[in-house]
Amino acid sequence: MQIQNEKILVLDFGGQYAQLIARRVREHNVYCEILIYKTPTTKIKANGYKGIIFTGGPNSVYAGDSPRCNANIFELGIPVLGICYGAQLMAYLLGGEVTPGIVKEYGNTVVKFDTESRLFAGNKAESVAWMSHTDYMAKLPQGFKASATSNDCPTAAIENPQKNLYAVQFHPEVSHTEQGTEILHNFIYNICDCKGDWVMSSFAESTIAALKEKIGNKKVLVGLSGGVDSSVAAVLLHRAVGKNLVCIFVDHGLLRKNEGDEVERVFKKQFDMNLIRVNAQERFLTKLSGVADPETKRKIIGEEFIRVFEEESKKLGNVEFLVQGTIYPDVVESGTGEAAVIKSHHNVGGLPENIGFEGVVEPLRDLFKDEVRKVGLELDIPEFLVWRQPFPGPGLAIRVMGDITEEKLNTLRDADYIFREEIANFGLEREINQYFAVYTGVRSVGVMGDSRTYDTTIALRAVTTTDFMTADWAHIPYEVLAKVSNRIINEVKGVNRIVYDVTSKPPSTIEWE
C-alpha cells in the first residue's frame, strides 16, 4: 500500500503536541506514525522511515530521569528534526551542553533565520515563532552551527547538514509560528526527499485492511451515536467485516431534538446496516438522578453504555469486539499517558476495567476532527452527516449544569434546536465549527407582559477551530444572535435570559462540563 512506501516517524518524548506534529506531516500528504522514545533503533531502522521528528516534552534533558532515546539513532542515516525538548536532546546526546537560560521564552518570539539553510529555504529572514522553554543549547555539538537566533536565544535553531540533523527550539507545528508550515515542508520534501503521495483514501484503505486482518470473521459491536466520529468508524467497520457488524444505537434520553429517529432512518435505510436501537432513557435518567458533578455524570454514562453493549451482545451470541469512535482530542483531554486530565470522555477515561469483550477497536484514535471528516467524504458518507455538529458521548447530560431532569432536557432541546436552525438559516453552519446551547441552571429576574418572571438562563456557545485542541469564540453577527435570542425567549417556556459565551480554548474547554 502507499503508506508503506513513504513515511515519517514522530518519536514521542511526552509532549502535548506529538499528535499535532503527525497531523501536520499528514497535511503534507506524507504518512506519519508515532512511537514512544524507548523504541529500539533496530525497529526504527527496519521500518524504513524517510525521516524522524523528535517531539517536545516537559523535562530537562540533563535531569537523571528525563526521557532519552538511544544515541545510535543518529547513525542510521535517517534525517532527524528535533523540536524544543527534542532539539535540546539532540544537542545533549551528541556532546553539546544544555543549561537553564538566563531569560525564559514563552509565546510569540521574533526569530531571525539563516535562509541559506535547507530547513529555512524560501522563508523570510525574520518572522514570529512560538517558543516555550526555560533551557537552551548553550554549547553546540561538534559539526553543528546555529541557523536561527532570537534576542534571548542564540541557538533558536542548529544544524549539521552533512549528517541531515536539524533542531529548532521553537514549535513549527503550531499555528502561532508564522512560517511553521514552510519549515516542515522543507524538512519533509527538501531534506527527507519525500514525494507526498499519501491521502485520506490511503488511510481508509489501510485501516479497512488492518481491521479485516485483526477481526477476521468475528462479530463486532459499534456504539453508534449518529455523530461524525461514530458514523465514520461504523462505515469503516462495515466495509471491513460486512454483516458481522452490528450497530448498537443507545438512545439514552440525552439526545438532541428528533435525533434518535434521524439516526435510525439514515443507518437502517440508507446504509443498510444491522442497527439495533435500544431505548434506555429511563435507565440512564434513573442512574443520573440527583447527580450534579460532571465527572460523575461521565463515569455513570460510560459504565451504562458498556453494560448495555454487554447485554445486547449476549442476545446476539458471541460478539468479540467493541468499536468506538474515539478521536485524538478525546485522548488528550482524558489525560492518557503523562497528560493531565482535563475531562474524562466516556469512551476513554470513562470505561470500566472489565468491559466484557475480547478487545476495543478505535480506528479513528489517531485523527483530529477535520481528518475524520475527510475520511468520511472518502468513504462517500453524505455531506449532511459528515458535517453534522459534534456531539459529546454523554450528550445533553454535560450541557445541563447541575442535576438532570426531563423538564430541563426538554427546555435545552428546544433552545438548542432554534440556535442550530438559525445558524443554518443564515448560512453560517460551515463557518462555525461547533455551536450549541447550554442549560446553565442560573435563574434570574425578568419582565414579560408587565409581570415579574424568575426563570432560566440559556447560554449559547459557538467556536471556530481546525483541530478542536484550541478554539476561538465565533464572532456571530449581532443580527443572528438577536434572532436566536428573540425566538428562544418567545418559543421556549421557562427561559427569560440568553447569554453568549466569548471565551476561547484555552483557558476554557469547548463544552461547559
Supply the DSSP symbol for 389.
P
Distance CA 78, CA 404 (A): 56
Query: Can you read off the three cell numbers belonging to residue 396?
Result: 445533553
Distance CA 229, CA 74 (A): 39
- For residue 345, what are the CA distances in angstroms to 153, 274, 341, 371, 390? 40, 26, 10, 20, 14
Sequence-ordered list of residues with C-beta below 8 angstroms from that of 47, at least 6 positions apart, any chain: 7, 9, 33
Verify whether residue 173 is a known catalytic residue. yes
| Helical H segments across 128-280, by residue range | 180-185, 200-215, 228-241, 259-265
Active-site residue, selected from the candidate residues 84, 153, 192, 247? 84
Sequence-ordered list of residues with C-beta below 8 angstroms from that of 143, at least 6 positions apart, any chain: 160, 162, 163
Verify whether residue 259 is a known catalytic residue. no
Do 234 and 207 contact (CB within 8 A), yes or no? no
Sequence-ordered list of residues with C-beta below 8 angstroms from that of 280, at least 6 positions apart, any chain: 250, 251, 252, 253, 304, 308
Active-site residue, selected from the candidate residues 159, 173, 362, 422? 173
Verify whether residue 171 is a known catalytic residue. yes
State the first-to-last Cα distance of the chain, in angstroms, to the nearest integer: 42
What three-state secondary structure class fits 335? coil
Active-site residue, selected from the candidate residues 133, 171, 185, 252? 171
DSSP code string of 158-176: EEEGGGTEEEESS-TTSTT
Do 155 and 146 contact (CB within 8 A), yes or no? yes
Distance CA 87, CA 90 (A): 5
Do 109 and 63 contact (CB within 8 A), yes or no? no
Active-site positions read 84, 171, 173
